[in-house]
Structure 1
Amino acid sequence: MFLLVLVVVFLEKKEYTIVNLVAVSNLGANLDLFNIAVSIPSVEYEPEQFPGAIMRLSEPKMTITLFKNGKINCAGAQKESDIPKGIINTCKLLKDITPDIKIPTNPQYKIVNLVANAQLDLKVDLFNLATKLDNVEYEPEQFPGAIVRLYNPKISLLLFKNGKMICAGAKSEQEIVDSIARIKKLLK
């Protein structure tokens, strides 16, 4: 006798798409930003306007802000696995100019901001939302969306009447999931 077992796995579809991931790290060496800007074409440095140098990476596509003390900000990644790749590629580019830099095999970093887009699949009465809740700013003459500020964790949501939403300030994907659940509950 044959026993046919059919296993169906339903993958939960994400309700959101990460559009920007921001992380911070430390290269462990002081940086000569002027020399770096002169040596690497993809680096912009204008110290009279901003104290850091801006490096644009093509692989992975992201922007690295370099500071003299070796601290860096990584922005523009769309998945977390791009962050260590970006740090390693930055170290490789800087190694010839700054010999003190070590190329890490497992770079240390901290995610400080996730930005995600979401579709709530419902129409939202923004005026009603703004009058019902204290933590909502809605001025349709100035901006077509409502700004909803959530606390614990501190996350800002831009909510539009067609149900589209931008979530900013999350430190993890779980915080994004939780904020979507919280706003859905508030909208009921």
Structure 2
Amino acid sequence: MEPTITIENIVASTRLAEDFDLQKLMDAGLEGAEYNKTKFPGLVYRIENPKVVFLIFTSGKVVCAGARSTDKAHMALINLANELSSIGCKEIDPEPEIHVQNVVASADLNTNLNLNAILTAFGMENVEYEPEVFPGLVYKLEAPKVVVLVFRTGKLVITGGKCPEDCEEGLRIIKTQFEELGLLY
């Protein structure tokens, strides 16, 4: 059975305005928003559809985390721009340039893995495995520039991609290399 990849989280960012007065945003009625500048320098605002969290900063920058697709991250940021405009924020960019910062995905190779054998096969270049510190093997790929966390259960976490295709290619490369080295049982 071919492993399938599941997008777990998309982190995207944009600049919606030149600046924000975060206390005014709180006072304007962003329901469910939290702002305590002694704990965190930004306003934290969670929404349910799509289920994401926004980090809104005085600089006008916004980070969106938790979306399960790039389309949902874009939609959430556009909806936030519209909502901020509707509560009286001036000069909100209605079509902000959105940048995907990180894609996190998971996959399952459906087999147990010998992480010490993988470490031996790949040597120390781009691979770290210190089971006393972290139970997974950390494999850094150059192209695409992603990090794959490999667990003995065959489960993988792929992070650092700029698009879902980066994670898919990381999975393909890992699976091919493991097969070529006889590491998949």
Equivalent residue in structure 1 for 2:62, among 61, 72, 81: 72
- Matched-pair contact (CA < 8 Å) for 1:116–1:168: yes
- Determine the C-alpha separation between the residues in 2 that align with 1:142 and 1:169: 21
Contact 1:21–1:115 (Cα < 8 Å) also in 2: yes
Aligned residue in 2 for 1:25: 14
Paired with 1:186 and 1:50, the residues of 2 have a C-alpha distance of: 43
Q: Deviations over 1:118-142 (max 9, x none)?
A: 1123332101112332222222233
Unaligned stretches of 5+ residues in structure 2:
none
Instruction: Note the residue ranges of structure 1 that are not aligned, 5 or more in a row.
Output: 1-12
Do residues 148 (structure 1) and 139 (structure 2) align?
yes
AA matched with 1:72: V
Higher RCO structure, 1 or 2 (CA under 8 Å, sep 6+): 2
Following TM superposition, the consecutive aligned residue runs of length 4 or more in structure 1 with deviations greater than 6 angstroms are none
TM-score, normalised with respect to structure 1: 0.83
Partner of 1:158: 149
CA radius of gyration, larger in = 1
Pick one of 153, 157, 164 that aligns with 1:173: 164
Pairwise mapping of residues 1-188 of structure 1 onto structure 2 (< 5 A)? 15-38=4-27, 39-95=29-85, 96-102=87-93, 104=94, 106-133=95-122, 134=124, 135-187=126-178, 188=181
* Number of residue-to-residue matches in the alignment: 174
Q: Which amino acid aligns with 2:66?
A: G
SS of the equivalent of 1:165 reads strand
Over the aligned positions, Cα root-mean-square deviation in angstroms equals 1.9
Residue 20 of structure 2 aligns to a residue whose secondary structure is coil
Identity, in percent, stands at 33
